[in-house]
């Protein structure tokens, strides 16, 4: 769909779309540094994000105001009660705009507005979590708020929700300027502007990048170009997106995203330097038997990883011929809680196998066991269809119903690490960057 310029006609004036960079960080010194870098890249407004405000209080707003005297500072208070008190607090700390939640009672919104008029700040109402965002945005406009923010929160993004999907409905409902937030990058910023949003709020895709200035500039330029209209991209299927991400992130990223769980024990790459990503075909077999392991190859394709519980470190259930057969069929890889043999042949084939041990001795094809039943492999339950990712750090199992979510969360872990790495490269130690002492459990 081609979108056209409709929106930035506010009160008859063409206003340049605003780039707001949201600082959802825990450390104030890092937030200020990132704010300065984002401003250099063209950020118009700087937001003290809710996590930063929770971590540092109103000092977050004070320090940003001090560091960026000419910029508009937005305090993302996410107020739901005591509207007046929270607006006063933020205004006195130096905020120009205060964000409150649309799910607040009207009495809270009205009192926040009275305080805003008194202290000379503006109110943006965030539709995050509103059961009926269209109706609520109409009500908010009637109450007199200054901006509406179409927002899909970070946790909602992880399960596939997108702000852009209901932006048009809100743009068609209210006349006040509309902001859009939630996982926005340069491409979606352009789409939002072309649809008619006036303000684009960008968090992680800028603040967690190693080069914040360049990333902000990229969004800024995409927004400016989009004023001539852009093609809206077709959305990939969630499965496609998920597998793409799993190919990019590491098993440590995934395990971190699973709250440090999901890693198999004692199952390691026997042919390092290779990555596997696929849906599990499971095999339960027994010491001295390799029939079911090999029969599973006939059911597998490139989108699969064969996951075998053999349980013996001393008799192998897999070797060179099985590997050759898998390679011919393009099967994604093999993971074995048990032993393999023919390592030299497997290495020569460059095929990814993860196993617990290597031994020359094989079993016989007796035909015991089962294919595609729930098994335990590397100490973890694996069901057919669960997602398996393996690399040089080991193998992780992602429950099939959480595949998309975990892929998105792992991507966030990867982004955070890339910014931390950059700060280490600039000369700070990891414990300084992570502020370990401050965040030790008290
Ligand atoms: O408001 C936000 C969120 O609720 C956490 O406070 C974010 O600032 C907003 O979603 C923008 O961040 P990204 O989604 O990372 O772009």
* Residue with CA at minimum distance from ligand 1 atom 9: 182
pLDDT of residue 9: 46
Beta strands in 225-312 (DSSP E): 268-269, 276-284, 304-309
**Is the complex ipTM higher than 0.95?**
yes
CA of 51 to the centre of ligand 1 (A): 9
Q: How many CB atoms lie within 10 A of CB 440?
A: 7
> Taking 70 as the threshold, does the pLDDT of residue 10 lie above it?
no
Chain segment 265-303, per-residue pLDDT in tens? 999 999 999 999 999 999 999 999 999 999 999 999 999
- State how far the Cα of 421 lies from the Cα of 430, in Å rounded to an integer: 8
On the 0-12 / 13-18 / 19+ scale of CB atoms within 10 A, 268 is middle
> Average of pLDDT values for 320-338?
98
Q: What is the pLDDT of residue 15?
A: 65
Q: Name every protein residue with a CB atom under 6 angstroms from any ligand 1 atom.
A: 22, 24, 49-51, 76, 153-154, 181-184, 201-205
Distance 269 CA to ligand 1 centre (A): 38
Element of type H or E holding 255: helix 251-257
The residue to mutate among 21, 22, 98, having the most atoms of ligand 1 within 8 angstroms of its beta carbon, is: 22
Parallel/antiparallel/unpaired status of strands 304-309 and 178-181? unpaired
Strands 72-79, 45-48: pairing kind: parallel
- The average confidence (pLDDT) of the chain is 94
Q: Do the beta carbons of residue 392 and residue 273 sit within 8 Å?
A: yes
Integer-rounded Cα radius of gyration of the chain? 26
Q: For residue range 26-50, list pLDDT tens digits in order.
A: 999 999 999 999 999 999 999 999 9
Q: How far is the CA of 161 from the centre of ligand 1 (A)?
A: 13
Distance of CA 270 to the CA centre of its chain: 31
Residue 132 DSSP symbol: S
Task: For 409-437, write each residue's pLDDT tens digit.
Answer: 999 999 999 999 999 999 999 999 988 99
């Amino acid at each position: 769909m081609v979108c056209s310029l409709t929106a930035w006609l506010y009160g008859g004036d063409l206003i340049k779309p605003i780039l707001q960079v949201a600082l959802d960080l825990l450390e104030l010194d890092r937030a200020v540094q990132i704010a300065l870098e984002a401003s250099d890249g063209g950020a118009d407004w700087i937001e003290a994000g809710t996590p930063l405000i929770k971590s540092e209080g109103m000092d977050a707003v004070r320090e940003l105001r001090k560091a960026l005297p000419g910029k508009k500072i937005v305090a993302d208070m996410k107020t739901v009660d005591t509207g007046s008190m929270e607006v006063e607090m933020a205004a006195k700390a130096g905020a120009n705009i205060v964000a409150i939640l649309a799910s607040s009672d009207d009495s809270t919104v009205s009192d926040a507005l009275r305080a805003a008029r008194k202290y000379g700040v503006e109110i943006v109402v965030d539709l995050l979590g509103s059961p009926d965002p269209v109706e609520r945005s109409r009500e908010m406009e009637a109450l007199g708020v200054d901006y509406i923010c179409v927002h899909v929160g970070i946790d909602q993004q992880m399960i596939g929700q997108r702000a852009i999907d209901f932006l048009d409905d809100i743009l068609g409902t209210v006349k006040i300027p509309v902001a859009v937030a939630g996982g926005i990058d340069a491409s979606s910023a352009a789409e939002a502007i072309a649809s008619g949003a006036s303000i684009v709020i960008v968090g992680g895709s800028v603040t967690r990048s190693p080069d914040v200035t360049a990333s902000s500039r990229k969004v800024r330029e995409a927004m400016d170009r989009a004023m001539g209209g852009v093609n809206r991209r077709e959305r990939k299927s969630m499965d496609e997106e998920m597998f793409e991400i799993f190919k990019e992130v590491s098993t440590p990223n995934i395990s971190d995203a699973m709250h440090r769980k999901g890693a198999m024990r004692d199952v390691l790459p026997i042919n390092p330097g290779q990555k596997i990503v696929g849906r599990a075909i499971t095999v339960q077999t027994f010491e001295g038997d390799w029939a079911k392991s090999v029969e599973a190859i006939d059911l597998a394709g490139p989108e699969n990883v064969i996951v075998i519980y053999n349980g013996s470190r001393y008799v192998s259930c897999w070797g060179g011929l099985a590997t050759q057969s898998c390679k011919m069929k393009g099967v994604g890889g093999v993971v074995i809680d048990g032993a393999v043999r023919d390592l030299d042949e497997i290495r020569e084939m460059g095929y990814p196998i993860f196993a617990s041990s290597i031994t020359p001795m094989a079993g016989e094809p007796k035909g015991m066991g089962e294919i595609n039943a729930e098994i335990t492999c590397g100490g973890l339950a694996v069901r057919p269809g669960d997602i398996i990712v393996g690399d040089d750090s080991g193998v992780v199992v992602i429950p099939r119903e959480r595949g998309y979510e975990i892929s998105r969360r792992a991507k966030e872990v990867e982004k955070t690490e890339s910014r931390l790495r950059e700060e280490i490269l600039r000369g700070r130690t990891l414990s300084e960057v992570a502020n370990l002492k401050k965040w030790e459990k008290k």
